[in-house]
């Protein structure tokens, strides 16, 4: 029987063999959810660090997706960060430690309109304030992707959105 700890490194090896330069493992905030095995925050730090080290040992960069409460502790182990809908859920400010450490943060907002929304335009105006790079994607699975237009990048982040960073 294959030990559970061997599975993620095997997946990382598969990524490396396919020519990937980075990986973003899933489930790195399992301790914060009903997981059925009693995982603690300390267990999660240990596991996330284990995965990051395994990726680095293969020459891969590694990103942390979610696990917002442990970003500060995990900064030394991860090369970049990924979030889904940090503006929608008022989480963008939680990436402040990554911004201060000059580590990249990518985030995606979801919707159903091909032209984007006023909401996404606000996200674009706040990219530099939050230190994130944002894209907009459909909620359905397809290749559509909208990046922030340059005209929004030079506009001021609305005060209500700037307050989220102060938290």
Least confident stretch, 80-84, 135-139, 140-144, 156-160: 156-160
Rounded to two decimals, what is the model's pTM? Answer: 0.83
pLDDT digits (tens, 9 = 90+) for 69-85: 999 999 999 999 999 98
Sequence spans of domains, the chain = 1-66, 79-166
Cα-based torsion angle of the residue sequence 61, 62, 68, 73 in order, rounded to the nearest 10 degrees: -80
Q: Give the other-Cβ count within 10 Å of 24's Cβ.
A: 18
Per-residue pLDDT tens for 37-66?
Answer: 888 999 999 999 999 999 999 999 999 998
1 vs 74 pLDDT, higher one: 74
């Amino acid at each position: 029987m294959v030990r559970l700890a061997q599975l993620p490194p095997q997946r990382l090896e598969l990524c490396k063999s396919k020519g990937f330069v980075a990986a973003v493992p899933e489930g790195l905030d399992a301790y914060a959810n009903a997981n059925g095995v009693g995982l603690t925050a300390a267990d999660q730090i240990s596991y996330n660090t284990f995965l990051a080290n395994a990726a680095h040992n293969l020459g891969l960069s590694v990103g942390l997706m979610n696990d917002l409460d442990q970003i500060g502790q995990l900064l030394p182990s991860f090369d970049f960060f990924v979030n889904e809908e940090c503006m929608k859920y008022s989480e963008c400010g939680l990436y402040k430690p990554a911004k201060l450490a000059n580590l990249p943060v990518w985030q995606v907002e979801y919707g159903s309109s091909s032209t984007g929304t006023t909401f996404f335009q606000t996200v674009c105006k706040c990219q530099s304030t939050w230190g994130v790079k944002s894209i907009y994607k459909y909620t359905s699975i397809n290749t559509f992707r909208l990046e922030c237009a340059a005209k929004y990048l030079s506009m001021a982040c609305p005060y209500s959105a700037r307050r989220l960073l102060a938290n």
